[in-house]
Chain A
Amino acid sequence: MSEQFPDEVVTQALTRLVTLPGVDKPLALITLDNGHDHTRPSTFGPGGLASLEAALDQALAADVAGIAVTGKPFVFAVGADLSGVPRISSRDDALEIARQGHRVFARLRDVAVPTFAFVNGAALGGGLELALHAQHRTISGGAFVAFPEVFLGLVPGWGGTQLLPNLIGIDAAVSVIVENALSQNRMTSGPRAAKLGIADAVFEPADFLERSLEWAAGVLTGAVAVDRPPVDRSAWDDAIARARQVVAARTRNASPAAVRAVDLLELARDASFADGTAAEDDALADLIMTPELRASLYAFDLTQKRAKRPAGAPDKALARPVTKVGVVGAGLMASQLALLLLRKLQVPVVLTDVDQARVDRGVGWVHGELDKLAGKGRLSPDALNRLKGLVSGSLEKSAFADADLVIEAVFEELSVKKQVFAEVEAVVSAQCVLATNTSALSITEMAADLQHPERVVGMHFFNPVAVLPLLEVVRAGSTDDATLATAFAVGKQLGKSCVLVADAPAFVVNRLLTRFLGEVTAAVDAGTPVDVAERALDPLGLPMTPFELLSLVGPAVALHVAERMHEAFPDRFGVGTGLRRMVELGKTTVFSEPGVVDPELADAFTSTGTGPTAEELRASAERAMAEEISLMLDEGVVQAVEDVDLAMLLGAGWPFWLGGISPSLRRPGALA
């Protein structure tokens, strides 16, 4: 196997014999340590597994009272080394990865002496599975555990699906293995893990290992009794049914991994450990060979690497410090931006708008949100005072005089935005960065008549601003490097992942989503029933249906972008009559109740039976997106296709198993 893992950072299993008070024989204490600090957590590749196997041999040869496994500081182990997985080209090799893990971990489970895992820090995936193979577990109050496999397109296939439900019960196991993984890979804290029964005892980090060793000595001498509630086998059917509902709701069954994980959990009720782990071997081998997993690993890599080092960003050193921010507009978008800037930059933020009532409403909204955060304990009273003191409103743009950054979020009308920038330029310094949150207007035109057009940049956030992690940083024709670097630096401080895009209509995410929605609304205009169109993309497993997306974006915004795109590219972007009607009637959703088209929209969404079928619609939508991506690359809207995928992952929430978007379009059967 090791030829597929030439870059493996081998986790060494270091063994020391430890004398425990009251215990005659020593305890073999195995430390998992890859020789790096906590920023490079320990993982198991072929070399690491071999080292662990050798350590277990060594421990057994030493005639010990027990064997315990722990990790280097802050890390227990974070699972399989996936670096070589993309190089695996045969199912047999994939199967061997599964089997090697099972074989080595089973050694810990099968030994005749008592075994312990001291979960001192992060225990993810295969790390947690190793801990589950021990007879007893302690966990640090500062540790956290998770099974990220299903999130990544795998299953916990080194025993996790069989051991966990038989330790903590099926319902909690469904939560940890399926539900948490599909909820942005939610982690479980050490104390919570102990409460769930994943660990038998929890100790504070300050003396975790000492207390764990003392506890282990107690177990060995019989002074400590380990009490675990019996597992309720009658709970299986309900929990598995719940798991299938969760998978259907979150993935529309488009992720083969999630489905297989539930199958394995179901099996764990009655299967022997040998049969259960053999089924895990098969599931892992199958999944490793799927395009969904390859896409997932690609997507994961993008979010871990490219998202942190944006391609094409100028030298960070060029960024100017931002010590005060102005926000033009006090509507909801502007207020959300103000709140985010305030919380993350912790500098004065001034909101302006055209009348006092709007300004007061904007500042009031920010105060209200801060109060809510304080109420939830997420802001201390001091921090609340500090942030409230930093936000203010003004009718006069002169309040921006000493700002280093002014962001506008006013009405999407070029003339209005030009007017705003002209007024702002009259009061601010020549270096103050002017940013626009426009979703579709030309930023180059917006800057054209300014004295310093080089200070104008696009910072396109996604709704809800506090949640979606993407920021499209738009370089207009005139934008200089210092301005661009400042936008990237601010984006990073705001906790966003930035993607550099050119000043092209609707940039990346909105352009693709609009093209995609355009195909759907065109199909409905052509007579495809709304419910068919609504479900036609289900096989992709998108986070929401097309009409749910329309409601989230808002028909008015969608129409504005669609019109603008139609203006720019009339051949490819239409404006749906149904969409126009929704905006005319002020409708925010197509449906008056779930599944029922609003009667007032009925004439615009009438099925004539002549539109494309679901399969035809999916194919045309995929073709349209492929074409649009190809055009964006030709136009130089992004540096590379990876940026398109990253933008769809982070700005549209498109799933890992599509790899964002482009890997799924290259699969056999796609673009049929």
Chain B
Amino acid sequence: MSRSLREVVFVDGVRTPFGKAGPKGMYAQTRADDLVVRCIRELMRRNPGLPPERVDEVAIAATTQIGDQGLTIGRTAALLAGLPTSVPGFAIDRMCAGAMTAVTTTASGIAFGAYDVAIAGGVEHMGHHPMGEGVDPNPRFVSEKIVDSSALVMGSTAENLHDRFPHLTKERADAFAVGSQDRYAAALAAGKIGPELVPVAVRSAEQGWGLATEDEPPRPGTTVEGLAGLKTPFRPHGHVTAGNAAGLNDGATGCLLAAEDVATELGLQIGMRLVGFGFAGVEPEVMGVGPVPSTLKALASTGLTIDDIGLFELNEAFAVQVLAFLDHFGIADDDPRVNMWGGAIAVGHPLASSGVRLMTQLSRQFAERPDVRYGLTAMCVGIGMGGTVIWENPAWEGEK
């Protein structure tokens, strides 16, 4: 039996506005699975050429898979969204890279010929499910020194990165953070942020129904002076603050993937073409550096070099871990190719959902940048991993 791989395309991506986690956040009384349902329904509405029964898989990531993020959320959200019972679904977890892994997993299935069309996404309601909820680490981790005790506290791993790369100072991290806020604010003002958002009806018993239409976390007008005085909760006189890290957030994302020939058959738009991907492990105590080896792997497998990449969407779990990536590849802290519409430090990082936010954003950037051929989405992952996905711009106009 001979096989041929099929091209996989990213058709369209959406997300809910991101909220602040906690009792005052806009999603405090909204279920996590309802956030996913909104994304699935919006994808189906925006792509009316796709018959619902043609969806072959719904993969939804969540880091904490209990309560309103439990019960095999890919399947249950599909049913709640009104997809036919014939459409299967599953739940997937690679912590922060959950949605990214949902994409690479279903995309692999498409390339292999098992699926024609898939929905991939992620959700994290960190208000309902604080980081580390219900975890039970094996005592061998510590007794056999498999990992340092700091490895499970993400902020501490970021402090560890400052130790490893002393030239990545707190000042550089704060400056990067201010840049993220500024770029997000500019993109918002220019209408770049918004078209991908799915309004969510939010209810509060005290205030009644409202409608979430905008991201809640950004802090426009942030300055380096303002950030300098913030507390360093992970270490006395440390480097990592609430200002140069992503916050604790609620939100969901979803995207539509298809075999390129199927997308053409159904008249679906082609936002990006998948080139390749890589995941890699690093020491858990410095998990933030994970995107470096994962990117090297992805570049190696696709035959590209870092110079081929015209746009970067890097998840900003911590400013220092983005700086570590840029530093490794010799890219300036404020390179305009990197996170041109701001990043997670401004918009937020509802853990397992973020991978698809990066992709959706990249695909929208591709549409207005026909001069760019390749783009890269990458993120670090807890317990010491990185993930990288390389995409090609279908709007690329070729060498001039």
Contacts and interface: CB of A to CB of B under 8 A. Distances in A.
A209 B201 CA distance: 6
A204 B209 CA distance: 17
B6 to A, nearest CB: 32
B203 A73 contact: yes
Interface residues of B, number: 20
Contacts of B198: 210
A289 interface: no
Interface string A29-58: 111010100000000000000000000000
A18 B207 CA distance: 12
Contacts of B38: 207, 210
B213 A29 contact: no
A209 B82 contact: no
B210 A16 contact: yes
Contacts of B209: 16, 29, 31, 70, 209
A21 interface: yes
B37 interface: yes
B41 interface: yes
B81 interface: yes
A31 B80 contact: no
Given A29-B208, A206-B81, A206-B82, A21 B201 contact: no
B201 A213 contact: yes
B206 interface: yes
Given A14-B206, A209-B201, A29 B41 contact: no
A213 B211 contact: yes
Nearest to A29: B209
A210 B80 contact: no
B37 A206 contact: yes
Interface string B330-363: 0000000000000000000000000000000000
A52 to B, nearest CB: 12
A646 B38 CA distance: 47
Given A210-B199, A210-B200, A210-B201, A16 B207 contact: yes
Contacts of A18: 210-211
Contacts of B199: 21, 210, 213-214
Contacts of B208: 14-16, 29-31, 33
Contacts of B135: none
B211 A29 contact: yes
Contacts of A620: none
A207 B206 CA distance: 21
A31 to B, nearest CB: 3
A19 interface: yes
A338 B168 CA distance: 81
Contacts of B213: 19, 21
A210 B211 contact: yes
Contacts of A20: 211
B189 interface: no
Interface residues of A, number: 22
Contacts of B214: 19
Contacts of B207: 14, 16, 31
B205 interface: yes
Contacts of B200: 210
Contacts of B37: 206-207
A86 B214 CA distance: 50
A72 B210 CA distance: 12
A19 B37 CA distance: 22
Contacts of B206: 14
Interface in B186-230: 198-201, 203, 205-211, 213-214
B232 to A, nearest CB: 36
The CB with the most chain A CB atoms within 10 A, among B81, B199, B205, is that of B199
Nearest to B206: A14
A209 B81 CA distance: 15
A12 to B, nearest CB: 8
Interface in B228-267: none
Contacts of A207: 37-38, 41, 201
Contacts of A33: 205, 208
Contacts of A19: 211, 213-214
A481 B229 CA distance: 75
Nearest to B37: A206
A33 B206 CA distance: 9
Contacts of B203: 31, 72-73
Interface in A1-34: 14-16, 18-21, 29-31, 33
A206 B80 contact: yes
A209 B199 CA distance: 10
B385 to A, nearest CB: 35
Interface in A65-82: 70, 72-73
B233 to A, nearest CB: 33
Contacts of B82: 204, 206
Contacts of A16: 207-210
Nearest to B42: A207
A206 B41 contact: yes
A415 to B, nearest CB: 57
5 contacts: A33-B208, A73-B203, A209-B209, A209-B211, A210-B38
Given A209-B209, A210-B198, 14 more contacts: A14-B208, A16-B209, A21-B213, A29-B208, A29-B210, A31-B203, A31-B207, A31-B209, A206-B82, A210-B38, A210-B199, A210-B201, A210-B211, A213-B211
The 5 A-B pairs at the shortest CB distance, nearest first, are namely A31-B208, A14-B208, A209-B201, A16-B210, A18-B211
Interface of A: 14-16, 18-21, 29-31, 33, 35, 70, 72-73, 204, 206-207, 209-210, 213-214
